[in-house]
Amino acid sequence: MPRSFRAELAAPGGKVPVRACELESSPVWLFASIGEYPVYDDVAYEAMINDERRMSAYTEAVRRYAPGRTVLDIGTGQDAVWALAAARAGARHVWAVEVIPESARIARKNIEKAGFADRITVVEGLSTEIELPEPVDMCVSEIIGTLAGSEGAGSVLRDARERLVKPGGVFIPHRSATTAVALDLNSANLGTLPGFPPLVFRYVEEVFASVGRPFDLRVVLEGLQDNPRVRQRSYLSDAVEVEPLEYNGDLQPEGVDAVELTFTRAGRFSGLALGVRLWVTEDDEPLDSLVQSSNWTPVYAPLSEEGLPVRPGDRFEFEFTTTMSDDGVHPDYALVGQLQRASGPAVPLSWGSTHHGDGFRETPFYRSLFPAP
């Protein structure tokens, strides 16, 4: 049984009590979804560099498309990996844009050290606010979040297409979509929901600080991907896709998707694991965060604390809505649905997750995670 204890987080406006757990006390534990906030550190960048599937799919794609082309790398990060890969592959010139000043500074140093300062120009700022001397032939970016568009890929890449890339220019990645699978979290972690291990506190504090107040931040489930047995015990259905984002096609950052999950196993339905599928190029098999170890961790959408009993053939019908938050870049998500069981009346269920909305302790899940003082 996971052991939980109470701790405190620093937040604008004062300390916030939090439910915490020891790291090794549960096969599944919570982390904050951080990629959509400017809180990247060495650990976060390293996790991306160590994601071998991601690295090899992108490296291959850049080697294929960059030779002889001008390239825009949006969100180059401190390692400038795709900018350097493009320059090494023979790109004519690379514009490497990065919004975090410290990451841009380190990227510049790494590019100089690698001997590519004449072929790569680092531009500090948001891609949506910069100008280039002329539109480029191709755009590479990895601003894919724990959900397909949660880091702003939809709106940022649409802006790039309209202003910074030549008509018909190539986009890497090609496509991403959010995925959803029904989850029995109780059987996955053998009892009560754990909280955040102490190593997560500073990330939650930084997200609160970047937004300016504590709020019901998006959480992810660590431990599901790396552990096939836990996954087998906890996934109650096959996965469905929502929030399709076509970077080389009709790119729609907002939308409503009506879908249905059919339960394939009996269990207690506690919520959804939401992941991301990423097609780096059109002919690649997608990277899939619900079933592969990766730097993208499944988001937890809690729907029922105790879990609703379900049997094979029962269904969860829902609408998944993506709307742009007022920063014009990061989406807010909402899900409204009905559990349809052979055994009884339909049960309405819902979940919402904003990028920086002001709701705090709005649902039983968050009242348990952030207990009142």
Ligand X SMILES: C[S@@+](CC[C@H](N)C(=O)[O-])C[C@H]1O[C@@H](n2cnc3c(N)ncnc32)[C@H](O)[C@@H]1O
Kindly state whether residue 221 participates in binding ligand X, applying the rule CB under 6 A: no
Kindly state whether residue 75 participates in binding ligand X, applying the rule CB under 6 A: yes
Kindly state whether residue 100 participates in binding ligand X, applying the rule CB under 6 A: yes
Residues 135-154 that bind ligand X (CB under 6 A): 142-143, 151-152
As a whole number of angstroms, the distance between CA 162 and CA 123 comes to 19
Instruction: Count the residues of the shown chain that bind ligand X, applying the rule CB under 6 A.
Output: 23
As a whole number of angstroms, the distance between CA 161 and CA 169 comes to 8
Kindly state whether residue 84 participates in binding ligand X, applying the rule CB under 6 A: no
Kindly state whether residue 206 participates in binding ligand X, applying the rule CB under 6 A: no
Distances (CA, A) of 163 to 133, 158, 174, 204, 230: 11, 9, 18, 35, 46
Kindly state whether residue 353 participates in binding ligand X, applying the rule CB under 6 A: no
Shortest distance (Å) from residue 160 CB to ligand X: 9
- Six-digit token string for 48: 């991306």
- Six-digit token string for 36: 């959509």
Shortest distance (Å) from residue 114 CB to ligand X: 15
As a whole number of angstroms, the distance between CA 106 and CA 79 comes to 7
User: Based on CB atoms, which residue is closest to ligand X, 19 or 175?
Assistant: 175
Kindly state whether residue 132 participates in binding ligand X, applying the rule CB under 6 A: no
Interhelix angle 52-65/81-89, nearest 10 degrees = 40
Q: Give the distance from CA 32 to its chain's centroid.
A: 10
User: Based on CB atoms, which residue is closest to ligand X, 238 or 327?
Assistant: 327
Kindly state whether residue 173 participates in binding ligand X, applying the rule CB under 6 A: no
Kindly state whether residue 81 participates in binding ligand X, applying the rule CB under 6 A: yes
H or E segment to which residue 160 belongs: helix 153-163
* Binding mask of the shown chain, residues 18 to 57, with x at each position contacting ligand X by CB under 6 A: -----------------x--x-x-------x---------
Q: Which amino acid is at 86?
A: A
- Six-digit token string for 344: 């009884």
User: Based on CB atoms, which residue is closest to ligand X, 128 or 186?
Assistant: 128
As a whole number of angstroms, the distance between CA 283 and CA 273 comes to 26
Shortest distance (Å) from residue 244 CB to ligand X: 20
DSSP state of 115: T
Shortest distance (Å) from residue 230 CB to ligand X: 26
Kindly state whether residue 99 participates in binding ligand X, applying the rule CB under 6 A: yes
Shortest distance (Å) from residue 279 CB to ligand X: 16
User: By Cβ distance, which residue is nearest to ligand X?
Assistant: 75
User: Based on CB atoms, which residue is closest to ligand X, 36 or 257?
Assistant: 36
* DSSP state string for 198-248: HHHHHHHHHHHHHHTS-----EEEETSTT-HHHHHHHB-B--EEEEEEETT
Per CB under 6 A, residues contacting ligand X are: 35, 38, 40, 48, 74-77, 81-82, 97-100, 103, 126-128, 142-143, 151-152, 156
